Amino acid sequence: VSDASGCSMIALLHTGAAKFPQNLLPRARQAVCSLLPAGVLKGYGSIVSRKLASHGFGASMAAMSSFPPQRYHYFLVLDFEATCDKPQIHPQEIIEFPILKLNGRTMEIESTFHMYVQPVVHPQLTPFCTELTGIIQGMVDGQPNLQQVLERVDEWMAKEGLLDPSVKSIFVTCGDWDLKVMLPGQCQYLGLPVADYFKQWINLKK
């Protein structure tokens, strides 16, 4: 599972609300720093900059202001956590679905979407999965299934104005696994359609 789920921790730094596990902070730091050389970030607000700096992002942030205006109005930072084991189980199922909406002009975090997902093929998480992701059984038990979560994602996208044809937004991932492999693979297995907005993304590793 790629490290981009740590990006969700940016919301914690901005809002001060403990919505995401503290053990993801190192991955958040890695994810934000990886944004910089990719030219995704342009500027940052004073509040966010102070909070990021206080969490160890430091002088790297000084480079952000030199980036040119972005072509997208919003960057949607996304990372899944999924069922896993050694050896790997099949099919893997998404168990955490986080999205962070980042304004492409101000670099302010405007909104977040976060839901845990109930796996249906392998409903019992393995000890390896819990150790790797930090997600325990109680977090997924009784949660919506993937179809229901995707419906809520679509509702959130509409509420945030992201389905407006005049608004340019794109998902941002750390690797291609999330939107090239995991989501379409599970949707195919379950017979679910994949929304068009999930079919294009920025891979920070490239």
All structural domains of the chain: 74-203 (3.30.420.10)
Express as a percent the part of the chain with pLDDT over 70.
67
- For 104-156, write each residue's pLDDT tens digit: 998 899 999 999 999 999 999 999 999 999 999 999 999 999 999 999 999 99
The one-letter amino acid at 121:
V
Q: What is the CB neighbour count within 10 angstroms for residue 18? A: 8
CA distance 32 to 49: 12
**In this predicted structure, what is the pLDDT of residue 113?**
98
Longest dimension (CA), the chain: 48
Q: Give residue-wise pLDDT tens across range 171-185.
A: 999 999 999 999 999
The structure tokens 């956590």 sit at 81
Asked whether residue 16 carries a pLDDT value surpassing 50, the answer given is: no
Per-residue pLDDT tens for 57-92? 444 444 455 667 889 999 999 999 999 999 999 999
The answer to pTM > 0.85 is no
